[in-house]
Structure 1
Amino acid sequence: MLESSATAPDAHTLAASGQGPAYLPPFAHARLGTMGIELELMVLDRLTHDLLPAAPDILRLLDLQEKRWVATPEITTSMLEVATSILENHQQAAAELEEIRHSVERAAFEVGAVISGGGAHPFQQWSDQRIYPKERYRESARKFGYLAKLFTVFGMHVHIGVPSGDEAVRLCAWLTQRAPLFIALSANSPCWQGENSGFCSARSNVVGAFPMSGTMPSHIRSWEQFQQHFDRLAKLGIVSSIKDFYWDVRPKPEYGTIELRVLDTPLHPSYAAALACYARALCVEASRQPGRWPTNDGPELYTWNRFNAARDGVAGMWIDPETGQRRSIVDVVTADMSRLAPKSDDPGFKTARAQIEELLRNGGQAKWLTAQLDAGYGMNDLARHASELFGQKSSQLPGYAGVK
């Protein structure tokens, strides 16, 4: 969702940048089912396809445009974040993301760069990256040392509007259960620092190094309890704003949303629209069961599901916390699609479902990339092919044998 347009830093902004006291804003109520999408994009050299520290130049060009969406810096200068306006459905999401794709591609071309999706650049070296000259990121570099540059990874965040803080906490718990499915569906970062990582989503392993990663504690059952949890950690000097929680799903009180944070940035924005539509449908479904909470089997089961999704992608297994049944991720997502379709109030759900089922049939985006390695292509080729796919209007992954 859009950042605040206030000209003077407010208490939340100061807290998030480390320049003010800890602050948790009141929960801003939103209409259920509205959504917003954030994408962290790679800025690449047009010739070498290595990361290029040209995000500041691209942002200056984008600032000259009138637009509903926003573009902002990220922690290093080869990263660019774009965030949609408030969206109602899949059709709006797909249209605005296509507008964003076209605009950032054009701005990048003017500075000798290209843009790419993907969760991690295949051969960049973390030590080469430059921290963006913004106080919040300088503070992160002071606080986290080399981890700040190591965090040059690229994720997709989905915001879903909810009507109250209490409901945000409950829906966070439900969406967290299924977060590993989104890791699997979005996984497209099999290579890390020039090596095949053996994981479909190497990016998913990076965030675990940060102190407040993981999931929201299961004992939190209301917004009041969340506030108490925040206040206790703030008094200990552990957190100063909601941004200090690197949870897989977290409430975002200033927007009135919950935020799903586990996805690799898709190789094409149309996949982002489809996956956001899936997340929205799950939240709307859970909201129609007021007062019902998911089963809590402890953190070990979630950690197992998360690990398998990151390693194996859509070919992985998932243990249902409600039944204890071990099922393939393909079967779980396919069943979700069948169950959600007749309930959905989104006229574009059918289109989103078709794209998600295409990912399941083809083995996912990571398989498309690793098939190229198996065919003898190098890391530079992977970066080039990913940027070329982002530059296309169509999201159709070229056939493995047909990649050039």
Structure 2
Amino acid sequence: MTDAVIDLDSAAAQARAVAGAGPAFLPPFANSRLGSMGIELELMVLDRLTYDLLPAAPDILLLLDKQEKAWVATPEITTSMLEVATSVLGSYREAATQVEEIRTSVQRAAFTVGAAISGGGAHPFQKWNEQRIYPKDRYRESAKKYGYLAKLFTVFGMHVHIGMPSADEAVRVGAWLTQRAPLFIALSANSPCWQGEDSGFCSARSNVVGAFPMSGIMPPDLRSWQEFANHFERLAQHGIVNSIKDFYWDVRPKPEYGTIELRVLDTPLHPAYSAALACYARELCIEIADRPGTWPSGNARELYNWNRFNAAKQGVRGSWIDPCSGKEHAIEHVVRSDLARLVARSDDPDFPEACLLIEELLRDGGQAGWLSAHMSAGAGMNDLARMASEIFEHPLRPGRGARQ
């Protein structure tokens, strides 16, 4: 995910810990180039006739494994979902180019096996109890540990990795990025339906993660990598965590890659939006890194919980309380102010293109608003799934959004 060199012995120990086959292990932090970036997308595999989830991910992955590519495709916890992850990226242009290559390749492989692919945070009408756990040791262990929550976790998210020059900076910048994480929930929100019902939320997916014991945010009192490592060790002694993957935090350090990982986003309906949103996160992190030694202030945890809830409920039409100032602002205003400031300071010449796509996500209630308007016009759950799949099918350019 980054250009950090990963120690093979550490990687093996980490793999054993993740699979539950070895002792708890926290790898050393592999420092990365500031602003290096990676994107992970969890995608739905759909039946092309019913648009229900289809357990065809293993067949699609077999085809993708034969393809020479810079990115990777891997299984996820159930067989109706797959994950794609970019190579190390350094700019919006690189991100946009690679996610478009991913889109076309995955769609072609899915078509070959009689399936369709879709973005979106939650399938509109799938039933969790009908899903199948992917036959992999790590996922079998998760099913044993978390019971029905493992299948309930058939939701689809986007994760963004941002390279950090040191472990201590990963903790500090991660604390700042956490405060703005609800903005990314709102911008990506596109899961208004859950288990065949209108959830009343713009992002129903966001509520599922909270059922896991180590969800939420990194404790605000952790101010260094050593303090984080001590925190990990205390939890590991009780068997609560075994690896970094046991932290379901909205923003977490990812030591083996030398990154911080933003984990709150619904998978966008089109991958082009993922490139734009990842670059927004990247620019925020670079800006924070240019203010060394500063930390967020204010009542972080309580305000964060409210900001998170409000972003999931209202989407881009919601509000955000600045934890530092205590002032409430419309999410649309905060995002537009951020983008104007970041464009002025960015060294990425194509970042303004990313901003055009983010502006598209602010209009008409964003992706959740587009789907809800479709429901209001009489669309059923199958229609919503079909619409999402059709959005995924075609290239998307700034100024020519998914609604057109």
Q: How far has the Cα of 1:361 moved from its partner?
A: 2.5
- Does residue 221 (structure 1) correspond to residue 223 (structure 2)? The answer is yes
Query: Which residue identity lines up with residue 275 of structure 2 in the other structure?
Result: A
CA distance in structure 1 between the aligned counterparts of 2:334 and 2:196, rounded to whole angstroms = 33
> Per-residue deviation at 1:397?
4.3
| Structure 1 residues 165 and 140, CA gap change in structure 2 (3 angstroms) | same
Residue in 2 that maps onto 1:44: 46
| Kept in 1: contact 2:298–2:325 (CA 8 A) | no
2:112 paired residue number: 110
Name the residue aligned to 2:145: 143
Alpha-carbon contact 2:121-2:157 (below 8 Å) kept = yes
Query: What is the one-letter code of the residue matched to 2:16?
Result: L
Q: 8 Å contact 2:300–2:323 — kept in the other structure? A: no
Q: Which residue of 2 aligns with 1:24?
A: 26
Q: Give matches, 1:300-319, under 5 Å.
A: 300-319=302-321
Matched, 1:260 2:288: no
Q: What letter corresponds to residue 85 of structure 2 in structure 1?
A: A
Match of 2:154 among 129, 146, 152: 152
Partner of residue 389, structure 2: 387
Match in the other structure for 1:170: 172
Distance 1:9 1:217, change over 3 A: closer
Question: 2:120·2:269 contact (CA, 8 Å) conserved in 1?
Answer: yes
Partner letter of residue 349 of structure 2? P
In 2: Cα distance, 1:195 partner to 1:113 partner: 24
Once the two structures are superposed, the pairs formed by residues 229-240 of structure 1 within 5 Å of their partners are: 229-240=231-242
1:47-62 to 2 correspondence within 5 Å? 47-62=49-64
Q: CA shift at 1:6, angstroms?
A: 6.5
- Return the letter of the residue paired with 1:116: S
Change (3 A) 1:310 1:342: same
Residue 200 of structure 1: aligned partner: 202
Q: Counterpart of 2:229 in 1: which secondary structure?
A: helix
Distance 2:133 2:348 in 1: 40
Deviations 1:239-280 (A, max 9, x none): 010000000000000000000000000000000000000000
Counterpart secondary structure, 2:44: strand
Q: Does 1:355 align with 2:331?
A: no
> Identity of paired residues, percent?
70
Determine if contact 1:218/1:296 at 8 Å carries over to the other structure: no
Q: State the 1:5 CA deviation.
A: 11
Extract unaligned runs of 5+ from structure 2: none
Find 1:211's aligned residue among 203, 210, 213: 213
2:135 aligns with 133
* In 2, Cα distance between equivalents of 1:293 and 1:7: 34
Measured in 1, the distance between the counterparts of 2:314 and 2:42 equals 23
Q: State the 1:362 CA deviation.
A: 2.8
Distance 1:189 1:4 in 2: 36
Judged with a 3 Å threshold, the aligned counterparts in structure 2 of structure 1 residues 334 and 380 are, in CA distance, closer, same or farther, namely same
SS in 2 for 1:10: helix
**In 1, Cα distance between equivalents of 2:258 and 2:155:** 26
Q: CA deviation at 1:4?
A: 7.5
Secondary structure of 2:84's counterpart equals strand
Partners of 1:358 and 1:142 lie apart in 2 by 42
Q: Retained in 2: the 8 A contact 1:368–1:397? A: no
Per-residue deviation at 1:7? 11
Equivalent pairs counted in the alignment come to: 400
**Secondary structure at 1:331 match in 2:** helix
Letter in 2 for 1:228: N
Could you list the runs of 5+ residues in structure 1 that have no partner in the other structure?
none
**How far did residue 236 of structure 1 move?**
1.0
- Give the whole-Å Cα distance in 2 for the aligned partners of 1:237 and 1:316: 39
Q: TM-score, normalised by structure 1?
A: 0.97
Residue identity in the other structure for 1:254: E
* Structure 2 CA distance for aligned equivalents of residues 388 and 398 of structure 1: 9
Shift of 1:329: 0.2
C-alpha contact 2:270 2:402 (8 A) present in aligned 1 = no
